[in-house]
A = this chain, B = another copy of it.
């Protein structure tokens, strides 16, 4: 392996679109959470697929690691260059290539963010529904199989990516999937690439499914006395088959943090934030049915966000909750950092998972607000730690490990939507058993030199 030789070769091809500036390396070597900075040796800014292919081909010749980079919003250290090498930043590949209105699909480059895409689609009456909160890039969202607040209705990236263009580890450019809504033509390489975190190929183009803007939208918050009551309302709502567009849970600590950060005044008790999409009559019916369930579970009257700007503000508050929670532990010498958990369990075990987690947090010294996409059985405890306190980090990692173990014991997964990255790698053997070996077999077959985001998702020994 000669990273320097690769850099020399790349500089010839890319000119000033290959950067080794300190600020560039540092910016691409940090993460949103607790991981230590791990910069690459250089950052490449390709303008098109052919350039990505050239970069990967040269890196393969020199056995040089290649890490894809979108908006840098990963919570699990996906983009950290733990073996050094080249980071490919897709910011110059962020165009909408084609809106296919008649098919309700769009072709985009990987660097475009979900907000930019939806802004671009505004006049079409269509929107892309997957919403992980952060303004992530579509390439990154596909690579981590992201989901978020709307997955309960519209599915995850697994369900919303129809086709891909991918640069493989040897520089070959392939297309997976087609423009058809379904196909039985062989192995589902689209699904294999989605969630592979840049370890099997680099996504250079995506065809995404779009949705029609709903005729009617209604959003509301509803306060509950206890976590159990709120979770019961969720379980009953899902069992009734009410097609909620969003059904988000925040515990009292999360609500307090949101109030402080976003200058809101929600009562400081567990809340559900909900949204309904449909025809006028359909939304009215959903609201009534959900209202009955919430009432049965002791929920408060709804606080409606009726105007579009009120809805925008409501979901902005939800999307900023991570930052609100980070800011909710002041008084340290440095800013608090977070270990983010991401368990997802069968909906029938959600109440148990949340209440056992809450008890575990209460018995610890770690502040850890809980919130999540409970309609999917997915929730996060944000474990707030003092980065200068090793004992605290240790205790938080233990707490996180117990959450992971609990999720697996309940038939769930340690990561509902954030991905494996570095943070969840240690749980993969327990979650998958021999299936994890199969993932490694596939990785070896598709990237025999192990140059694509090495050290992530699988272990090769």
Chain A interface residues (CB < 8 Å from chain B): 100, 102-105, 144-147, 151, 156, 158-159, 168, 172-176, 178-189, 191-192, 194-196, 200, 211-212, 235, 239-241, 279, 281-282, 285, 342, 344-349, 376-378, 407, 410-420, 424, 427-428, 431-436, 438-439, 441-442, 444-446, 457-458
Contacts and interface: CB of A to CB of B under 8 A. Distances in A.
A283 to B, nearest CB: 11
Contacts of A433: 174-175
A180 B412 contact: yes
A186 B346 contact: no
Given A181-B347, A411-B180, A446-B438, A186 B432 contact: yes
Given A180-B345, A195-B184, A416-B182, A189 B103 contact: no
Copies held by the complex = 2
Contacts of A144: 184
A246 to B, nearest CB: 15
A200 B127 CA distance: 37
Contacts of A419: 184-185
Contact of A445 (B189, B411, B442, B458): B442
B420 A186 contact: yes
Contact of A346 (B103, B145, B349, B435): B103
A438 B164 CA distance: 14
A276 to B, nearest CB: 13
B435 A174 contact: yes
Given A438-B189, A445-B444, A182 B156 contact: yes
A438 B184 contact: no
A371 to B, nearest CB: 17
20 contacts: A103-B347, A147-B182, A147-B184, A176-B435, A180-B376, A180-B413, A182-B344, A182-B417, A184-B417, A185-B413, A185-B420, A187-B457, A188-B192, A189-B439, A192-B442, A282-B285, A438-B446, A441-B446, A442-B446, A444-B445
